Amino acid sequence: MDAVGRAATALLILATGCAASAADDLQRGTELAQSGRWAEARAAFLEGARLAPRDRRLLVELAGVEYRQKNLAAAKRYLRRALALDPADRYACDFLATIYYLEGNLEAALQYWNRIGKPEIADVQVAPKPKLDAVLLDSALAITPGSVLTLDELRTAEARLDALDAFPSYRLDLAAHADERFDATLHWLQLPAWTGVASALRGVAYQTLLPELRDIGGTGVNWDALLRWDAQKRRIGTSLAGPLLHNAKWRYRWYADARSETWNAGGPEDFRMQRLASGLEFQAIPSWRLAWQTGVEVSSRHFANLPGFGGGAAIKYSSGLTYELLRVPERRIRIVSAVNGDVGRMFAAPGVLFAQARASLDARWLPQARGDDYEVYARAQAGTTQGHAPFDELFMLGVERDNDLSLRGHAGTIAGKKGSAPIGRNYFLANWDFHKQLYRRELFTVAAGPFVDTGRTGDVFSRSRFQPWLVDSGLDTSVRVAGGLRVNVIYGRDLRGGSHVIYATVGR
């Protein structure tokens, strides 16, 4: 017992001595920092932190030294360590949030400000003033003056504004008052009338017009249309989408589409597909994390010279769910999942049912603390078909303007005719992209980077070159033009077959 008592006494004396030494280092470092001797102050604080690793004051002071030296990454690291010791430290929370705010990372700033009941919103403004209905805009923003803006409210506002699609480009900013309150301002880009004409003509190079109207009469209703006069791929379509009951949380979309296309799957003869479809969809956005949609479609198709697949009318019910699995604002990482399912019936014969299910996982990472000079993107998707689905409902992997399953080394058309890409009842597809901004000015931005795509689908035409796993790689270059237009030029190569694709698109 005497030995144990002597050991405990020694440990107590040692701890007391370390604490006293750490306090001396804190005092000495503070005096050095006040005189602008930053390197010596950093050394004193580091020595104190070594002796007293659980003293958050030393970590906060180290963050202050790094901040004055413009080493924001180190300042954030020390502040996170301090908050790990005391998550409710008001000064550390405010300090860390302010750094993220200065870097333009508003989500990360709100994550730490919200811990201490900040920021209180003094006023909500929109600049320039839009013609959008005020009640509808309020339902999208959901930010109330006199209350604290939470991270959930910011993300929900962005999700509903994105779905509303009334502003070609926007950002939400906070401007500080002297009394530590903030004004929340929605800044958006008001485009001249000629940009609408340019947008409608963006598909002229591939014999397509894409007229559109946004926020018709301030109601939030958007109209889109497509007219393609390509002899091998004629198509006309229109859609009307908008909010329900002046509430951005609820949306509807009606569409109609007609196609007449020539296909060739490598056989001696072409076949022709004619298809008419119309549908109505409803979507709900209760929060930034969750959105769901449901709808019904009626369609009719006719095939000429395509044995094994019948035509006729069909009705299909669809539903889907999008759920954000992860968003880490400090690391600028976002992962979103989605599942969709369809159940349909062909009326050509009694009891001809079919069903489809699809799932996807999207991940986006911006490695730098601010800006988007570098971007890493990954997507994995899979789908399956059960029952007797019509040919036009099957999955196609490849690069084609009517297809969103991009296997970028496989062309979806040859000599203007569809059918050259793999088409199956089931599929798996993974896309990996890395982008680097090469040139940036006010009017346009140029970015480029490599990609790798891999996929597989059991080809319904039993073409042997599509049976194994398919792997493509290449270069994707994009030019973003002020006003929302984006020009993409893709060079992709099939690493197994050796073929290559050069493809260009112009979109929003």
Per-residue pLDDT tens digits for 255-267: 999 999 999 887 7
- Overall average pLDDT of the 106-119 stretch: 94
CA distance 334 to 108: 13
Nearest to 400 by CA among 384, 382, 422: 422
pLDDT of 129 strictly over 60: yes
* Share of residues in the chain with pLDDT > 70 (%): 94
pLDDT per position as a tens digit, 266-311: 778 888 999 999 999 999 999 999 999 999 999 999 988 887 787 8
pLDDT per position as a tens digit, 399-424: 998 999 999 999 999 888 998 999 99
- Overall average pLDDT of the 21-31 stretch: 72
Assign 11 a pLDDT band (cuts: 50, 70, 90): very low
Task: Look at the pTM and tell me if it is higher than 0.85.
Answer: yes
Within the chain, all domains assigned CATH 1.25.40.10 are found at 21-116
Under 8 Å between Cβ of 295 and 322:
no
**Which tokens hold the place of 163?**
């779905």
Assign 179 a pLDDT band (cuts: 50, 70, 90): confident
Query: If you average pLDDT over every residue of the chain, what do you get?
Result: 88
- Please give the pLDDT value at position 27: 78
- Label residue 415 left, alpha or beta by phi (over 0 means left) and psi (-120 to 50 means alpha): left
**CATH of segment(s) 121-188:** 3.10.20.310
**Which tokens hold the place of 230?**
């390509």
- Please give the pLDDT value at position 5: 46
- Please give the pLDDT value at position 21: 66
pLDDT of 350 strictly over 80: no
Within the chain, all domains assigned CATH 3.10.20.310 are found at 121-188
Q: Does the structural domain 21-116 have CATH classification 1.10.3720.10? A: no
- Overall average pLDDT of the 480-502 stretch: 85
3-class DSSP assignment, residue 243: strand
- Overall average pLDDT of the 139-155 stretch: 91
- Please give the pLDDT value at position 262: 93
Q: What is the radius of gyration, based on Cα positions, of the chain?
A: 29
- What sign for the dihedral angle of Cα 292, 249, 240, 195? negative
pLDDT of 68 strictly over 80: yes
- Please give the pLDDT value at position 80: 92
Strands 121-127 and 182-188: parallel
Out of 3.40.50.9100, 3.40.50.720, 2.40.160.50, 2.40.50.140, the CATH code matching 194-507 is: 2.40.160.50
Within the chain, all domains assigned CATH 2.40.160.50 are found at 194-507
Strands 290-304 and 271-284: antiparallel
CA distance 63 to 455: 47
pLDDT per position as a tens digit, 209-250: 999 999 999 999 999 999 999 999 999 999 999 999 889 999
CA distance 209 to 257: 14
Residue 98 or residue 142, greater confidence: 98
pLDDT per position as a tens digit, 440-488: 877 788 999 999 999 999 888 888 888 889 999 999 999 887 666 788 8
- Please give the pLDDT value at position 10: 38
- Please give the pLDDT value at position 374: 93
pLDDT of 98 strictly over 80: yes
pLDDT of 15 strictly over 50: no
Find the range with the poorest average confidence among 51-55, 156-160, 191-195, 481-485: 481-485
Which residues have a Cβ under 8 Å from the Cβ of 31 and sit 6 or more positions away?
A: none
